[in-house]
Amino acid sequence: MPSSGHTSAEGLTLRLRVRGVVQGVGFRPFVYRLAQSLGLSGWVLNDPEGVLIEASGPEERLQAFQEALVRQAPAAARVEGVEVVAREVGGKEGTFVIRESAAQGLPITLISPDLAVCEECLRELFDPADPRYLYPYINCTHCGPRYSILLDLPYDRPRTTMRDFSLCPRCQAQYEDPLDRRFHAQPVACPQCGPHYALLDGEGQPVAEREEAIALAARWLREGRILAVKGIGGYHLACDAQNPEAVARLRARKYRKDKPFALMAKDLEALEGYALLPPEAQTLLTSPARPIVLLERGPKTLPPEVAPGVPEIGVMLPYTPLHHLLFWAGAPPLLVMTSGNRSSEPIAYRDEEALERLQGLAEGFLVGERPIARRVDDSVVALLEGRPAMVRRARGYAPSPVVRHPRFQKPILALGAGLKNAIALATEGYVFVSQHIGDLDNLDAFQAFVETLHDLTRMYRVPLEEALVVHDLHPDYPSSRYAEALPGPKLAVQHHRAHIAAVVAEHGLWEEPVLGFAFDGTGLGEDGTVWGGEVFAGPLWALQRVGHLDTALLPGGEAAARYPEQAAVGFLIGQEEALWRPFLGEKPVAVALSLLKSGARTPKTSSLGRLFDAAAALCGFRGRMSYEGQAAIWLEALARQGRGEEAYPFPFREGRWDYRPLLMALLQDLRRGEPREEVARRFHLGLAQGVVEAALTLGRSLGFKTVALSGGVWHNKLLHARVVQALRREGFQVFWNQEVPVGDGGIALGQAALGQMALEGLG
Return residues touching Fe ion (CB under 5 A). 520, 744
Residues in the chain: 763
Strand partners, 381: 293, 390
Q: Which of 371, 339, 191 is nearest to 254 (CA)?
A: 339
Q: Which of 429, 110, 124, 435 is nearest to 291 (CA)?
A: 435
Distance in Å, CB of 510 to Fe ion, minimum: 22
Question: Quick one: 293 or 608, whose CB is closer to Fe ion?
Answer: 608
How far is it, in rounded angstroms, from Cα 736 to Cα 515? 12
How far is it, in rounded angstroms, from Cα 134 to Cα 153? 31
Contacts of residue 59, Cβ cutoff 8 Å, sequence gap at least 6: 11, 12
How far is it, in rounded angstroms, from Cα 600 to Cα 557? 9
Partner whose binding site includes residue 40, from Zn ion, Fe ion, none (CB under 5 to 8 Å by kind): none
Question: Quick one: 140 or 754, whose CB is closer to Zn ion?
Answer: 140
Question: Quick one: 418 or 488, whose CB is closer to Fe ion?
Answer: 418
Question: Quick one: 4 or 192, whose CB is closer to Zn ion?
Answer: 192
Q: Does the footprint of Zn ion cover residue 140 (CB under 5 A)?
A: yes
Distance in Å, CB of 291 to Zn ion, minimum: 19
Q: Does the footprint of Zn ion cover residue 162 (CB under 5 A)?
A: no
Question: Quick one: 36 or 344, whose CB is closer to Fe ion?
Answer: 344
Handedness of CA 576, 580, 581, 582 (dihedral sign): positive
Distance in Å, CB of 129 to Zn ion, minimum: 16
Partner whose binding site includes residue 171, from Fe ion, Zn ion, none (CB under 5 to 8 Å by kind): Zn ion
Distance in Å, CB of 321 to Zn ion, minimum: 9
Which residue among 44, 110, 118, 569 contacts Zn ion (CB under 5 A)? 118
CB atoms near residue 239 (< 10 Å): 26
How far is it, in rounded angstroms, from Cα 65 to Cα 38? 7
Say if residues 698 and 535 touch (Cβ distance below 8 Å): yes
Alpha carbon of residue 199 to chain centroid: 31
How far is it, in rounded angstroms, from Cα 297 to Cα 271? 10
Strand partners, 337: 238
Partner whose binding site includes residue 520, from Fe ion, Zn ion, none (CB under 5 to 8 Å by kind): Fe ion
Partner whose binding site includes residue 193, from Fe ion, Zn ion, none (CB under 5 to 8 Å by kind): Zn ion
Question: Quick one: 142 or 374, whose CB is closer to Zn ion?
Answer: 142
Question: Quick one: 619 or 752, whose CB is closer to Fe ion?
Answer: 752
Determine if the peptide bond prior to 399 is cis (ω within 30°). Answer: yes
Binders in 119-138 for Zn ion, by CB under 5 A: 121
Q: Does the footprint of Zn ion cover residue 370 (CB under 5 A)?
A: no
How far is it, in rounded angstroms, from Cα 504 to Cα 497? 10
Q: Does the footprint of Zn ion cover residue 190 (CB under 5 A)?
A: yes
Question: Quick one: 261 or 327, whose CB is closer to Zn ion?
Answer: 327
Which residue among 171, 402, 543, 740 contacts Zn ion (CB under 5 A)? 171
Which residue among 45, 75, 97, 168 contacts Zn ion (CB under 5 A)? 168
Report in angstroms the alpha-carbon separations of 617 from 131, 610, 726.
Answer: 60, 10, 28
Strand partners, 235: 230
Q: Which of 486, 465, 326, 328 is nearest to 415 (CA)?
A: 486
Q: Which of 50, 177, 46 is nearest to 100 (CA)?
A: 46
Q: Does the footprint of Zn ion cover residue 193 (CB under 5 A)?
A: yes
Question: Quick one: 124 or 744, whose CB is closer to Fe ion?
Answer: 744
Distance in Å, CB of 192 to Zn ion, minimum: 5
Please give the residue whose beta carbon sits closest to Fe ion in the complex: 520
Distance in Å, CB of 729 to Zn ion, minimum: 46
- φ, ψ (nearest 5 deg) of residue 14: -120, 140
Question: Quick one: 145 or 521, whose CB is closer to Fe ion?
Answer: 521
Distance in Å, CB of 389 to Fe ion, minimum: 15
Say if residues 60 and 9 touch (Cβ distance below 8 Å): no
Partner whose binding site includes residue 121, from Zn ion, Fe ion, none (CB under 5 to 8 Å by kind): Zn ion
Partner whose binding site includes residue 662, from Fe ion, Zn ion, none (CB under 5 to 8 Å by kind): none
Torsion from C-alpha of 663, 666, 671, 676, nearest 10 degrees: -140
Q: Binding segment for Zn ion among 20-28, 162-170, 239-247, 278-286 (CB under 5 A)?
A: 162-170
Distance in Å, CB of 524 to Fe ion, minimum: 11
Q: Does the footprint of Zn ion cover residue 21 (CB under 5 A)?
A: no
Partner whose binding site includes residue 514, from Fe ion, Zn ion, none (CB under 5 to 8 Å by kind): none
Alpha carbon of residue 672 to chain centroid: 43
Question: What residues line the site for Zn ion (CB under 5 A)?
Answer: 118, 121, 140, 142-143, 168, 171, 190, 192-193
